[in-house]
Homo-oligomer: A and B are copies of this chain.
Amino acid sequence: MTQSRPRIVPEATVARLAVYLRVLAGLADGGRSHVSSGELAAAAGVNPAGLRKDLSYLGPCGVRGVGYSVAGLQERLSAALGVERSRACVLVGMGRLGAALADYAGFASRGFEFVGLLDADPARVGDRVSGCTVRPVEELESVVAGTQASIGVITTPAEVAQSVCDRLVAAGVRSILNFAPVALSVPAGVDVRKVDLSVELQVLAFLDQQRDGGPPPVVVPVPAGAGGAR
């Protein structure tokens, strides 16, 4: 047995690793060969020490006094995130949001390929989106089986999201990205991530309202450094 997985990586760290990987791609395009944690952290909008701690979960991958090798870090992060081999994805619900996602070049360039697009509306079936033909939702099981898709994306109306999810899971999909505003129930061993855009707006509205009512007429309650990014 290899000792390759002595440390477990927190999920919050995994999300940031993906951000670092994207920033590294930009640096590589710019011809850079090395980066310091400070520079990388600034570009990613995080604390330098936190970035180093994130990277340390993968074992030592930098050189003290010099920084990190851009190419080396890219390879290390790609391996850790499982982006080495590209992942097959199926998308159910080719509405406005689903069409935007399926047609987005940023996914393919990061190793995510949509191998199945499904919709219940006969008017949508047959459309070609970025090299893939929309197929009737009845073929969900056969498409998943035939493509060995590992990720399912749900962009259907909320009412049918659970049933679509159940069918995806039954067909063998163990990772689901859900855009419908419902909490999906899945058996153990299946991972669901939910993107809820209404919630994002409402959090902003809350912060806005709190900001107006919050700070009394004191000067400015912000001691931290200028121009922070988030």
A203 near B106: Cβ-Cβ < 8 Å:
no
Least CB distance from A189 to B in Å reads 7
Least CB distance from A27 to B in Å reads 13
> Does A198 lie at the interface of the complex (its beta carbon under 8 Å from any beta carbon of B)?
yes
Q: Which residue of B lies closest to A42 (CB)?
A: B183
Using A183-B43, A187-B226 as known contacts, say yes or no to A82 and B192 having CB atoms under 8 A apart. no
B204 near A191: Cβ-Cβ < 8 Å:
yes
Q: Give the chain B neighbours of A15 by CB distance below 8 A.
A: 199, 202-203
Contact with B along A6-34 (1 / 0, CB 8 A): 00010100110111011000000000000
User: Which residues 178-230 of A sit at the B interface, judged by CB distance below 8 A?
Assistant: 181, 183-189, 191-211, 213-214, 220, 222, 224, 226-230
Interface of A is mostly: mixed
| 14 other A-B residue contacts (CB within 8 Å) besides A151-B205, A192-B229 | A15-B202, A18-B199, A19-B196, A22-B181, A83-B205, A87-B208, A96-B103, A150-B205, A151-B208, A183-B229, A186-B227, A188-B222, A193-B203, A195-B197
Q: Which residue of B lies closest to A86 (CB)?
A: B205
A208 near B227: Cβ-Cβ < 8 Å:
no
Instruction: List the number of copies, as a whole number.
Output: 2
A22 near B150: Cβ-Cβ < 8 Å:
no
Residue of A44, A89, A230 most packed against chain B (CB within 10 A) = A230
